[in-house]
Amino acid sequence: MVVIRFQQRSNGMNFKFALPALALAAAAGFTAPASAAVPIYSPKGTENADSYIFSAKKSGEVGFYWLGGISVGYTAAFSYSVNSSAFTTVFASNFATPKGTYFDLGDFAAGDVFVFKLTLSKPFAVAGNTIYSDPALNDDNVQSIYVDSYGGGDFGVPLGSYTYIGFEDIMGFSDQLRSSDFDYNDDQFAFVNLSSGAVPEPATWALLISGFGMVGFALRRRKSLLSVVSA
């Protein structure tokens, strides 16, 4: 416990007393920083429609804190690829991996692009299945991740600014498992120095392209009208 000591002098005599730092802060109207809760995918039971592109925010270390996953009887190897390189395995997640454990992926340049992968080995029903952070790489084209911002504070993770990635790692591997809960927290990671940009879905792209076309048509029409008026 941190103790702050005060000394007061009165009538030629010294008086010393101590107050705990937290008590002093409370008396002064200050509070200790609160932890930010691990994100929860809110529309539970519905597949996440977003896709993401991950890249290093700045040149330097990229790593993650392991926030937990499915417990007894489950194991999955976590790997990453940078700039379309071969995948590098980081660790095997299971119930014995302490939550809050930090893994350093190494130093990278700003803008380096990452893809993440889980390869399941247990239980037997899903052994050998692989899922990616890019749904286009998944056999069933199902989005298997959910992304959010996270402030730390859980499991010994320092308070800070993290990119949270939650995997829904049992979706669609067999008809029996298609009743997955879509909570996207079967495997959870808090990444350091990683940015995530949502990629619009095809329907959204179509709307954007259509919108750009309409804007272009309007500009051309305005230009034509101005030419007629000038003449």
Distance separating alpha carbons of residues 142 and 30, to the nearest angstrom: 47
CB burial class (10 A; 0-12, 13-18, 19+) of residue 194? buried
Distance separating alpha carbons of residues 96 and 41, to the nearest angstrom: 25
More confident residue, 183 or 219: 183
Q: Is the pLDDT of residue 167 over 60?
A: yes
Name the amino acid, one letter, at 190: A
Within a domain: residue 167? yes
Within a domain: residue 181? yes
What percentage of the chain reaches a pLDDT higher than 70?
63
More confident residue, 220 or 44: 44
Distance separating alpha carbons of residues 115 and 63, to the nearest angstrom: 13
Within a domain: residue 41? no
Number of domains comprising the chain: 2
Residue among 96, 91, 150 nearest 116 (CA): 91
Within a domain: residue 204? no
User: Which residues sit opposite 91 in a β-bridge?
Assistant: 78
Residue 99 and residue 7 share a domain: no
What percentage of the chain reaches a pLDDT higher than 90?
40
CB burial class (10 A; 0-12, 13-18, 19+) of residue 137? middle
Owner of token pair 């941190």:
2
Q: What is the pLDDT of residues 104-146, one digit of tens each?
A: 999 999 999 999 999 888 877 778 888 899 999 988 888 999 9
Question: Can you give the pLDDT at residue 140?
Answer: 80
Residue 131 and residue 20 share a domain: no
Q: Is the pLDDT of residue 216 over 70?
A: no
Task: Evaluate the CA torsion angle 196, 170, 126, 104 in order and state its sign.
Answer: positive
Within a domain: residue 62? yes
Question: Can you give the pLDDT at residue 176?
Answer: 43
Question: Structural domain of residue 71, as residue ranges?
Answer: 51-199
User: Which residues sit opposite 215 in a β-bridge?
Assistant: none
Q: What is the pLDDT of residues 81-104, one digit of tens each?
A: 999 999 999 987 766 788 999 999
Within a domain: residue 37? no
pTM: 0.70
